[in-house]
DNA sequence: TTTTTTTTGGAACATTCATTCTATAATTAT
DNA sequence: ATAATTATAGAATGAATGTTCCAAAAAAAA
């Protein structure tokens, strides 16, 4: 009956994601996407819907990938080491000039766009839950003090990603990021 | 010789600042500014220059005001109390749906726009310096442990504004913000 | 009052924006 | 091979963008 797509929608979605990741939603034009995804306009609209829908799919893709990465840290070692690994990894293997899409989006769109806000919020809650479970195990294992509240600590850690990314954008100084990360983790452990 | 402006440039600049503050740079159109500032296009261009220049002036205005507010906290009470006051005040008296323009701008523009980045960075350094001086005094007064580095702590506190604002955007939960603020301050004091 | 200068209002501008349309090419199933 | 269906390419669309221009109004200084 019909013809097949000459491209892999998943793979091209990642290209779109990388464009939004770099320039943000508003500053990325449809022309940028046509060029960057190496796709015709019609193919983009046909496959993903309009710009907003495309962005949502990029965000979902990003969130899913990030959560998977974080969950992978859980099995490796002790709970507290897994937490450390998650926090340090978040920024360590970033590409130059790329800032976490979730954090970026929180500030560019979440306050004005309820759909986007819900998406970001749900991803945040997922990650916070992963952290909270690790911290509860860590507490039981005596790796963190008994007076710490794993829920609050998990939310604090999640929020700290925003700190680290902002400082990375402004100062681009690995030593500074390490010092801040050390303090953040120390504040959990003792 | 010539006619005078029928408006107060400073006052209208604050209106522009509030618009950018709410919607961000890219999402605020020149038409929004014409409507919001209640000025003619020509008057805007004649007085402030183009959109980018206008935004820079808004940012300067914001930074100057913020720094003044923070410095005012310094005289009031003990160094550590001043630090607490600065951190708590930052979010406490926010308007609904408004997120710190500096933090917002860090994520929307700073990574792509060197001029804007420098402006935000310099304001950050100014505020960090205020915090650092307070923390040094606090250390001398024995209000914070001797092993803390005032410089690192000051940068940590500045970075924490970003955390708090992100969580405010996503969750809009005063209790959550208070819990996080408590933890942030406790991590400095002990 | 007259002259000079600048603000002002609003139209006009060129560009870019997201989106849609049309015609053609391609490919699968019959 | 033929028919049916969909992807593709790129032009076309109309709205919105930031910016400039021009004539008229205003007011300060002569």
pLDDT of B160 > 90? The answer is: yes
Nearest CA in chain B to A189: B187
pLDDT of B105 > 60? The answer is: yes
The set of long-range contacts for B160-163, using a CB threshold of 8 Å and a minimum separation of 24, is: B160/A163, B160/B87, B160/B184, B161/B87, B161/B90, B161/B100, B161/B103, B162/A162, B162/A163, B162/A165, B162/A166, B162/A167, B162/B103, B162/B106, B163/A156, B163/A159, B163/A160, B163/A162, B163/A163
Q: Residue holding tokens 């308007």?
A: B95
pLDDT of B7 > 60? The answer is: yes
Q: How confident is the model at residue A80 (pLDDT cuts 50, 70, 90)?
A: very high
Nearest CA in chain A to B108: A108
Mean pLDDT of chain A: 92
Structural contact between residues A106 and A163, judged by C-beta atoms closer than 8 angstroms: no
pLDDT digits (tens, 9 = 90+) for A91-134: 887 787 789 999 999 999 999 999 999 999 999 999 999 999 99
Instruction: Round and report the angstrom distance from CA (B1) to C1' (D30).
Output: 9
Q: How confident is the model at residue A1 (pLDDT cuts 50, 70, 90)?
A: low
pLDDT of B64 > 90? The answer is: yes
Q: How confident is the model at residue B70 (pLDDT cuts 50, 70, 90)?
A: confident
pLDDT of B3 > 70? The answer is: no
What pLDDT does A3 receive?
62
| SS3 labels along chain A | CCCCCCCCHHHHHHHHHHHHHHHCCCCCCHHHHHHHHCCCHHHHHHHHCCHHHHHHHHHHHHHHHHHHHHHHHHHHCCHHHHHHHHHHHHHHCCCCCCCCHHHHHHHHHHCCCHHHHHHHHHHHHHHHHHHHHHHHHHHHCCCCCCCCCHHHHHHHHHHHHHHHHHHHHHHCCHHHHHHHHHHHHHHHHC
What pLDDT does B85 receive?
93
pLDDT of A2 > 70? The answer is: no
pLDDT of B89 > 80? The answer is: yes
pLDDT digits (tens, 9 = 90+) for A47-76: 999 999 999 999 999 999 999 988 887 776
Is the Cβ atom of A29 within 7 Å of strand D at any atom?
no
Give the distance from residue A49's alpha carbon to the nearest chain B alpha carbon, in angstroms. 21
SS3 at position B99: coil
Is the Cβ atom of A4 within 7 Å of strand D at any atom?
yes
Burial class (CB in 10 A: 0-12, 13-18, 19+), A39: buried
What pLDDT does A165 receive?
97
Structural contact between residues B74 and B130, judged by C-beta atoms closer than 8 angstroms: yes
Angle at A62 between CA B184 and CA B176, to 5 degrees: 25
Q: How confident is the model at residue B2 (pLDDT cuts 50, 70, 90)?
A: low
What pLDDT does B93 receive?
74
Instruction: Round and report the angstrom distance from CA (A145) to C1' (C12).
Output: 70
Nearest nucleotide (CA of A26 to C1'): C17
pTM: predicted TM-score of the whole model, two decimal places: 0.93
Nearest nucleotide (CA of B45 to C1'): D19
Bases of strand C lying below 7 A from some protein CB:
4-12, 16-22, 25-29
Q: Which residue is nearest to nucleotide C5 (CA to C1')?
A: B2
SS3 at position B35: helix
pLDDT digits (tens, 9 = 90+) for A25-40: 999 999 999 999 998 8
Q: Which residue is nearest to nucleotide D30 (CA to C1')?
A: B1
C-alpha closest to that of B7 among B38, B53, B34, B48 = B38
Interchain CB contact of A176 with B (< 8 Å): yes
Interchain CB contact of B94 with A (< 8 Å): no
- DSSP code at position B3: P
Instruction: Round and report the angstrom distance from CA (A23) to C1' (D10).
Output: 26
Bases of strand D lying below 7 A from some protein CB:
4-12, 16-22, 25-29
Q: Region A11-30: what's the mean pLDDT?
A: 93
What pLDDT does A133 receive?
95
Q: How confident is the model at residue B95 (pLDDT cuts 50, 70, 90)?
A: confident
What pLDDT does A178 receive?
96
Q: Region B114-125: what's the mean pLDDT?
A: 96
Nearest nucleotide (CA of A45 to C1'): C19
Q: How many angstroms separate the most distant Cα atoms in chain B?
A: 66
In angstroms, rounded to a whole number, what is the distance separating the alpha carbons of residues A84 and B154? Answer: 22
pLDDT digits (tens, 9 = 90+) for B131-158: 999 999 999 999 999 999 999 999 999 9
Structural contact between residues A13 and A48, judged by C-beta atoms closer than 8 angstroms: yes
- Give residue B104's Cα distance to chain centre: 9
CB-based contact B108 A108, cutoff 8 Å: yes
């Amino acid at each position: 009956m019909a013809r097949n797509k000459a491209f892999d929608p998943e793979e091209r979605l990642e290209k779109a994601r990388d464009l939004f990741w770099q320039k943000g939603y508003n500053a990325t034009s449809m022309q940028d996407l046509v060029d960057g995804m190496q796709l015709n306009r019609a193919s983009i609209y046909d496959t993903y819907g309009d710009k907003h829908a495309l962005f949502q799919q990029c965000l979902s893709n990003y969130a899913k990938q990030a959560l998977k990465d974080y969950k992978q840290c859980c099995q490796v070692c002790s709970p507290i080491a897994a937490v450390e690994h998650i926090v340090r990894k978040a920024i360590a293997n970033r590409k130059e000039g790329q800032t976490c899409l979730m954090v970026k989006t929180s500030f560019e769109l979440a306050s004005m766009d309820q759909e986007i806000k819900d998406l970001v919020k749900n991803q945040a809650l997922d990650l916070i839950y992963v952290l909270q479970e690790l911290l509860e195990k860590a507490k039981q294992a005596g790796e963190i003090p008994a007076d710490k509240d794993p829920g609050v600590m998990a939310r604090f850690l999640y929020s700290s990603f925003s700190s680290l990314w902002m400082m990375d954008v402004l100062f681009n100084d690995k030593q500074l990021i390490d010092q801040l990360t050390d303090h953040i983790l120390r504040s959990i452990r003792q």
